[in-house]
Structure 1
Amino acid sequence: MPGPTLTDIARAAEVSTATVSHALNGTGRLGESTRRRVREVAAALGYGSRRTPLTRTRTLGLAVTTYAGTPWNFLAVPYFSRLLTAAAVTAHAHGYALTVLPAARGGETLWHTLTVDGMLLLDSPEDDRVLRALRARGIPVVFDGRPVDPRPDDIWVDNDHATTTREVLDHLAAAGAHRIALHAGFGREYYTGAVTRAYEQWCREHGQVPSVIAFDPDDAPGHAFDRAFSDRACDAVHSVYDPGGRQVRAAAARHGLRIPDDLLLVCTSEDPAYADTDPSVTTVTLRPETIAETAVTTLVARLDPALPSPAPGGLMIPARLHPRASTRPRGE
């Protein structure tokens, strides 16, 4: 097969063909880091030699790209830690190693020179630069979470977030809630948008005014709720991120609100500690272990020509609501 063209290299390195030409020929006014990165990408693609079939490494890659480039510790989030454990177990069962990539890219070259047979991307946001680099190199991808703008041949594993959101809101309404706030709006991945849209639709159908309270991962005291709690503008909260339940509890305590008497609470979380709080917190589990096993098995099937090729589209894993004391019906 012929080697890569300048256009191939430009697409993979996310630069212009002119930049590629200057980098490879030692001309032009390029920064040294750009020149080096383009040359490394060209070498990874086999520029200057005849392209040979990719060597199978029996290695899968896994990356959380929601905030790719930001050095945040996603392993501290129970959802991701539980998913990664299950993904490693499943990969090993299929005879693959699993490489977990850092959230911070560690230099632009990493995504362009990574040597894996396939990638599992978690919570890929809109305009995902990591995804663009992987696509340019032809590395097969399976998504945990529906991509924001999927291609016809994309495969993803996800929950039905609209159905789950409606289940949570119906549960809160049945427990006596009349003014339900949604604690969300932080990420640009599909999950956040799907939950928010379902919440707003449910509010329209039930004659409620939507109230989306912005989540901030650094807001441990829950100051985002100060106005709503001071005005008693909501009597229930559905928090869609793991730390949110703790933030709601902290804010409620500061404002003298009792859970569940004054405020009902549901949090989407895989943290078992929510079952041991006083009162215990109703949670939604997205079942990360099942998602991981399904996604890795699907990626392996996509890589192995001896296995049936998986159909494109979404594979849905039902989420589960675990009612606890924080949504005990009022009057009980």
Structure 2
Amino acid sequence: MTGVPAGPTIADIARAAEVSTATVSHALNGTGRVADATRRRVREVATGLGYGAPRAPRTRTLGLAVTTFAGSSWNYVAVTYFSRWLTAATSAAHARGYALTTLPAERGAEALWHTLAVDGMLLLDSPEGDPVLRALRARGIPVVFDGRPAAPRPGDTWVDNDHAATTREVLGHLAAAGARRIALHGGFGSEYYTHAVTRTYEEWCAERGRPVLPVRFEPDDADGRAFDRVFAGGEADAVYSLYDPGGRQVLAAAARHGLAVPADLLVVCASEDPAYETAGVPVTTVTLNPELTAEAAVAALVERIEHDPARPGRPFRSGGLTVPSALLVRASSRPRPEGRAGGHAGKDTRPRA
């Protein structure tokens, strides 16, 4: 174990409270013109960071937060990927003698980011400008990411899949099954996953002269209204959906437009939800193997926490650790009968020269 680290500095408090060092100095010393709310917030942050007091001993506790939409009211535990990740991470932490605390995403939880007593944090889907990450860095708390951070620093550690390779595998599979106009159902989050898949999709389409057909995912679009344009006009004969509910939205939209799956429309969804396997038409899914990711992330975080600089032969892992994903092919993307083009029955949807 490492020795007790030095306490936070004025600069640490300024970063965590998102004010200047001068404001921190005035707030702590009762000088200058500082709004009461700002003075109170700075002092609360300073107290939470342990300013002016000995740093607390190790807690043998890890924290976990999903920060893509931190501050919004959503229950990420209800998403199968995250629920499986949490279960595996809890088991991995316990096996190493650590407790695991899960942070809510709802508004009002922001104070926890500045005051939570943990030895290290697991951040899932950290977006650009992540306020949780900013607060943790200011406090000097070790962090390991699920998903490459938007702006990684030297020494950062993350666990992720090879999203470019997976995307090319999915698109190649759909093309081999007869798809010619593949829509990408995504563009909702600002985390690395969404950007990596979208960039690869656009490159793949450009390389083959295929149309780029983005369809924006919306969590509450149960009827799949976002697909009305591409389905009504026969623009898309296949869909790759990037988020767990997306497959159900695609199927709902296809039913409204009279499209049969897979005869008229091929479907692949990135999801861990077992219900896709038992759907009326079993849906092809991409699994990102959350259990493997969670185990690797917890192991890396514990290594980082327990790293002893005096033992150079045992450095902690930094950089990206890759976990394999897998394409689970089911009926929704089986090859079409010879000569059958996707789209509405009786409508010529073959691509024009």
Q: Give the Cα–Cα distance (whole angstroms) in 1 for the partners of residues 327 and 87 of structure 2.
A: 22
The equivalent position to 1:214 in structure 2, one of 216, 223, 232, is: 216
Q: Give the Cα–Cα distance (whole angstroms) in 2 for the partners of residues 58 and 322 of structure 1.
A: 38
Tell me how far 1:36 sits from its aligned partner: 2.3
Tell me how far 1:31 sits from its aligned partner: 4.8
SS of match in other structure, 2:239: strand
Alignment of structure 1 residues 127-142 onto 2, 5 Å: 127-142=129-144
Q: Give the Cα–Cα distance (whole angstroms) in 1 for the partners of residues 224 and 31 of structure 2.
A: 54
Give the aligned length.
Answer: 330
Query: Residue 78 of structure 1 corresponds to which residue in structure 2?
Result: 80
Alignment of structure 1 residues 303-322 onto 2, 5 Å: 303-305=305-307, 308-322=314-328
CA contact (8 A) 1:37 1:109 kept: no
Q: Give the Cα–Cα distance (whole angstroms) in 2 for the partners of residues 2 and 328 of structure 1.
A: 60
SS of match in other structure, 1:266: strand
Tell me how far 1:46 sits from its aligned partner: 3.1
Q: Give the Cα–Cα distance (whole angstroms) in 2 for the partners of residues 39 and 182 of structure 1.
A: 47
The equivalent position to 2:244 in structure 1, one of 239, 242, 245, is: 242
Per-residue Cα deviation, 1:213-246 (whole angstroms, up to 9, x for no partner): 1000011100000010000100000000000000
The equivalent position to 2:303 in structure 1, one of 301, 304, 323, is: 301
Q: Give the Cα–Cα distance (whole angstroms) in 2 for the partners of residues 321 and 32 of structure 1.
A: 55
Alignment of structure 1 residues 36-115 onto 2, 5 Å: 36-49=40-53, 52-115=54-117
The equivalent position to 1:330 in structure 2, one of 331, 336, 348, is: 336
Question: What is the TM-score normalised by the length of structure 2?
Answer: 0.90
The equivalent position to 2:17 in structure 1, one of 2, 13, 20, is: 13
Q: Which moved more, 1:306-315 or 1:80-89?
A: 306-315
Q: Which moved more, 1:76-85 or 1:308-317?
A: 308-317
Tell me how far 1:12 sits from its aligned partner: 2.0
The equivalent position to 1:187 in structure 2, one of 186, 189, 193, is: 189
Tell me how far 1:113 sits from its aligned partner: 1.1
Q: Give the Cα–Cα distance (whole angstroms) in 2 for the partners of residues 22 and 313 of structure 1.
A: 39
Gaps of 5+ in 2: 339-353
Query: Residue 278 of structure 1 corresponds to which residue in structure 2?
Result: 280
CA contact (8 A) 1:61 1:116 kept: yes
Tell me how far 1:32 sits from its aligned partner: 4.3
Identity among equivalent pairs (%): 69
Q: Which moved more, 1:287-296 or 1:100-109?
A: 100-109
Alignment of structure 1 residues 124-273 onto 2, 5 Å: 124-273=126-275
Q: Which moved more, 1:175-184 or 1:308-317?
A: 308-317
Tell me how far 1:14 sits from its aligned partner: 1.3
SS of match in other structure, 1:181: strand
Per-residue Cα deviation, 1:14-68 (whole angstroms, up to 9, x for no partner): 112233233223455655443322112212333334xx45410000000000011
Distance 1:33 1:105, change over 3 A: farther
Q: Give the Cα–Cα distance (whole angstroms) in 1 for the partners of residues 6 and 145 of structure 2.
A: 31
Tell me how far 1:257 sits from its aligned partner: 0.4
Q: Give the Cα–Cα distance (whole angstroms) in 1 for the partners of residues 175 and 267 of structure 2.
A: 12
Question: What is the TM-score normalised by the length of structure 1?
Answer: 0.95
Q: Give the Cα–Cα distance (whole angstroms) in 1 for the partners of residues 56 and 315 of structure 2.
A: 19
One-letter amino acid of the structure 1 residue matched with residue 334 of structure 2: R
Distance 1:262 1:22, change over 3 A: same
Q: Give the Cα–Cα distance (whole angstroms) in 1 for the partners of residues 44 and 148 of structure 2.
A: 31
Q: Which moved more, 1:98-107 or 1:114-123?
A: 98-107
RMSD, matched Cα: 1.7
CA contact (8 A) 2:307 2:316 kept: no
CA contact (8 A) 2:304 2:317 kept: no
Q: Give the Cα–Cα distance (whole angstroms) in 2 for the partners of residues 176 and 66 of structure 1.
A: 35
Q: Give the Cα–Cα distance (whole angstroms) in 2 for the partners of residues 195 and 2 of structure 1.
A: 41
SS of match in other structure, 1:136: helix
Gaps of 5+ in 1: none
